[in-house]
């Protein structure tokens, strides 16, 4: 279990500690559900990326967990930010991410978002459709990448594949060539190419195949576009994290080192000038850093083989099990050294099936126990909702025995403040 938890996690006298603080103390002070982020783990991952590709721009995939304090922490390590909405752009600017380290995405960018990118001086904007060319020029955009769809299907859930034929993202090869030509004719600086095949990748083969495909595509561009070759190649992100014991993603440093070697080999094979590399890790930077703490409520036997352990959150703070069939592990934070008493299903409190974990071994759970779910730093709070009018959880950053709130807990007053005519006077 410790391999799934953040680097700072420890079990002392049967109690889970995160960042040098007992999980029970965090829950008592900040309430539950609570997302606890380990600073040490996030920084270690950022540094692993920088070591493996010291000349690359590492742009944090903000959608994994948009948070100003986290973006600021990563910016201090030299990272940039991959943003895909005006909101994510504002978060990155508020965090002090240097504009030249911003990569702006979006498959349906509004004119306001294009203007926002231009006004911020974003280093790169990724063109995702032919019709964006004229709109980007009108907005005052400078340097762009053209996102190309490789047709390579990543070995991951179909909902998080992004480069297969028919994807809503990017341009098929023929249209990408046209896009480069149009953008150059419009006076945009076409700095290079972008490709991203999907998320939660647990092996390297699809990424290696994509690099080979992209090199061949770049060689085609040289032939068809008067010698144009990409100065920048953005390979996206997508490296997975380990949520359960049988998931074995490669280490970030190994994954990136192999990508760099693949790129050098493929570009050399086609006699292409070596481009600057951009990578956009999200999940692999913050996934393992996060642990969600829940308070156990009802424990109820449903059948001879199914006993539900119900917690005070669920699909409103982590919709991934419902959306993608994502799997998670869990432990009782204050009884972490007790032997399991059986297999249990962890369910949320919402008006749906709302199963967080279909089956997990635990000591016999009791009302009031604290349940810890590892590897929840990415795509949980960022995809959260107010289903059943439930306020979103708080998030705290822990390091060296200290914790600080980096996102306060929502309140019912926050939710009611959005409602027109919600005051008692009507």
Which uninterrupted H or E stretch holds 405?
Answer: strand 402-407
Residue 344 CA to residue 219 CA, distance in Å, equals 55
Q: What is the b/e burial string over 38-76, where b = at least 16 CB atoms within 10 angstroms of the residue's CB?
A: bbbbbbbbbebbbebbeebbbbbbbbbbbbbbbbbbbbe
Dihedral class, residue 286 (left if φ above 0, else alpha if ψ from -120 to 50, else beta): alpha
Strands (E) located in 250-401? 276-279, 290-301, 307-311, 331-332, 342-347, 355-362, 370-374, 394-399
Give CA separation, 274 vs 1, 140, 232, 264, 390, in Å.
42, 28, 9, 7, 51
Residue 16 CA to residue 169 CA, distance in Å, equals 42
Q: Considering 304, 351, 417, 421, which one is annotated as catalytic?
A: 351
Residue 298 CA to residue 70 CA, distance in Å, equals 34
The question of whether 221 is a catalytic residue gets the answer no
Active-site residue list: 351
């Amino acid at each position: 279990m410790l391999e799934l938890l953040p680097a700072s996690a420890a079990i002392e006298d049967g109690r889970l500690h995160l960042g040098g603080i007992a999980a029970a103390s965090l829950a008592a002070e900040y309430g539950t559900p609570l997302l606890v982020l380990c600073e040490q783990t996030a920084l270690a991952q950022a540094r692993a990326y920088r070591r493996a590709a010291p000349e690359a721009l590492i742009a944090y995939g903000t959608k994994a967990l948009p948070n100003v304090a986290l973006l600021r922490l990563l910016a201090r390590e030299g990272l940039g930010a991959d943003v895909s909405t005006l909101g994510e752009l504002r978060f990155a600017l508020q965090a002090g991410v240097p504009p030249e380290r911003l990569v702006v995405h979006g498959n349906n960018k509004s004119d306001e978002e294009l203007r926002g990118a231009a006004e911020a001086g974003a280093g790169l904007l990724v063109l995702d459709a032919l019709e964006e060319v004229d709109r980007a020029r009108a907005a005052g955009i400078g340097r762009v990448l053209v996102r190309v769809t490789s047709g390579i299907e990543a070995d991951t859930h179909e909902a998080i594949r992004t480069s297969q034929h028919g994807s809503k993202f990017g341009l098929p090869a023929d249209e990408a060539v046209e896009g480069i030509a149009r953008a150059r004719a419009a006076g945009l600086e076409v700095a290079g190419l972008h490709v991203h095949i999907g998320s939660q990748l647990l092996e390297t083969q699809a990424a290696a195949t994509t690099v080979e495909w992209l090199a061949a595509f770049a060689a085609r561009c040289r032939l068809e576009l008067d010698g144009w070759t990409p100065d920048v190649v953005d390979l996206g992100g997508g490296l997975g994290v380990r949520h359960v014991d049988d998931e074995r993603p490669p280490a970030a440093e190994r994954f990136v080192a192999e990508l760099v070697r693949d790129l050098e080999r493929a570009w050399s094979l086609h006699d292409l000038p070596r481009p600057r590399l951009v990578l956009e890790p999200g999940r692999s930077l913050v996934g393992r850093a996060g642990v969600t703490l829940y308070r156990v409520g009802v424990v109820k036997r449903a059948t001879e083989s199914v006993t539900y352990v119900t917690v005070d959150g669920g699909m409103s703070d982590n919709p991934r099990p419902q959306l993608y069939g994502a799997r998670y592990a869990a432990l009782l934070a204050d009884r972490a050294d007790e032997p399991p008493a059986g297999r249990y299903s962890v369910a949320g409190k919402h008006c749906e099936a709302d199963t967080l974990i279909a089956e997990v071994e635990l000591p016999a759970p009791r009302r009031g126990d604290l349940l810890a779910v590892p590897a929840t730093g990415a795509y949980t709070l960022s995809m959260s909702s107010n289903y059943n009018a439930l306020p979103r959880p708080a998030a705290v950053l822990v390091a060296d025995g200290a914790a600080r709130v980096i996102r306060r807990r929502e309140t019912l007053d926050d939710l009611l403040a959005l409602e027109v005519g919600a005051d008692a006077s009507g």
